[in-house]
Amino acid sequence: MKVLVTGAGSLLMREVAIALATRGEEVVCMQRREAHFPPGVRVHQELGDITNLEAVAKAMAGCDGVVHGAARVGVVGTWNDFYNTNVVGTQNILAAAQTQHVPRIVYVSTPSVAHHGLSLVGADATPAVTGHQRAYYAESKAIAETEALNANSNTCAVVAIRPHLVWGPCDTQLVGRIVDRAQKNKLAMVGSGSALIDSTYITNAVAALVAAVDALQVGATCAGKAYVIANGEPRTVRELMQEICNAAGVPFRPKKVPLSVALAVGSLMERVWPRMGKGEPPLTRFVAEQLGTAHWFNPRSAAQDLNWSPTVSLDEGFAELHRWFLEQPRPLPL
């Protein structure tokens, strides 16, 4: 099978490309800058911007499937920036798939497309909703996911996969930030730290996306649907953060921030920080909600329809993370 993987500059999508290539698929990667692959992994790289329809069509030529994970993330940027990459980019993928007769598209989404910051307890993957206000990422992803799933047809099957809070070695988003804050003794814990949240170890997230490629075809149960992917092992925020710190060998001394304060500060930072040109702010409303309220899901439909279930437990994941930190050149601060 020839598969196009977009957004291979990110950890998750690069690993997906590697996994597909390793098992013998012909993999084309499309991202803006050259990505580094381990020696021996055969991947063809098509550098380009997904907002450019021609470039997308060229990369997709002859493909049997697409895993579309290219996206603008975070909070920095204007609505237009988010809209162009996430919505227009996805529209280009859908349009190109039609002209190139590609029969399957796996759209990499996020659980936040369906929710507005309430706690989620054993929740199902409900349809994406709009109205996320200043959360441009969630809003643009929601629009894109809806368009992608609407494009599901009897010539091209589309599935949306929403991995929840992916972490693992090399992860700069969750692990990197927590360890960085902990090292600077600036680690904040939102609320009482007692909200149960599920997360996804990177290997499981990669396997889920590969499983989606395999399960997806025209008329398949999963076609036209959205699935949340997670380890199925919710933990309190406190325990999760502590395990990450332990794995990294940094002390765990969080400062407690009430949820209401975190939301207010996050909200303010979202507006002010981007104009200061300092990159991503340390706290956003989105992060405050993610870490301050329960987030865990019903894993049943993903297990049944994608024929996937997590193979690496949290404990194994933390052990793996610890081994990785030990291999890192910088000295552990222990």
Q: Residue numbers of the site for other proteins (CB under 8 A)? A: 119, 121-122, 191-196, 232-239, 242, 259, 292-294, 296-300
CA atoms within 13 A on the CB side of 275: 5
Count of Cβ atoms closer than 10 Å to residue 47 Cβ: 13
Q: Closer CB to other proteins, residue 163 or residue 191?
A: 191
Q: Least distance (Å) from other proteins to the CB of residue 244?
A: 13
Q: Least distance (Å) from other proteins to the CB of residue 241?
A: 12
Question: How far, rounded to the nearest angstrom, does the alpha carbon of residue 187 sit from its chain's CA centroid?
Answer: 23
Q: Closer CB to other proteins, residue 152 or residue 242?
A: 242
Q: Least distance (Å) from other proteins to the CB of residue 200?
A: 16
Q: Closer CB to other proteins, residue 107 or residue 201?
A: 201
**Distance from C-alpha of 85 to C-alpha of 215, rounded to nearest angstrom:** 27
Instruction: Name the strands in the sheet holding 43-47, side by side, starting at the edge strand that comes first in the sequence.
Output: 43-47, 26-31, 2-6, 65-68, 104-108, 157-163, 226-229
Q: Closer CB to other proteins, residue 70 or residue 262?
A: 262
Q: Least distance (Å) from other proteins to the CB of residue 15?
A: 25
Q: Least distance (Å) from other proteins to the CB of residue 42?
A: 38
**Distance from C-alpha of 56 to C-alpha of 304, rounded to nearest angstrom:** 32
Using DSSP bridges, classify how beta strands 166-167 and 200-201 pair: parallel, antiparallel or unpaired. Answer: parallel
- Is 137 annotated as catalytic? yes
Q: Using CA of residue 295, residue 300, residue 303, residue 309, what is the dihedral sign?
A: positive
Q: Closer CB to other proteins, residue 299 or residue 317?
A: 299
Instruction: Dump strand ranges (E) for 24-69.
Output: 26-31, 43-47, 65-68
83, 136, 137, 227: the active-site residue: 137
Catalytic residues, by residue number, are: 137
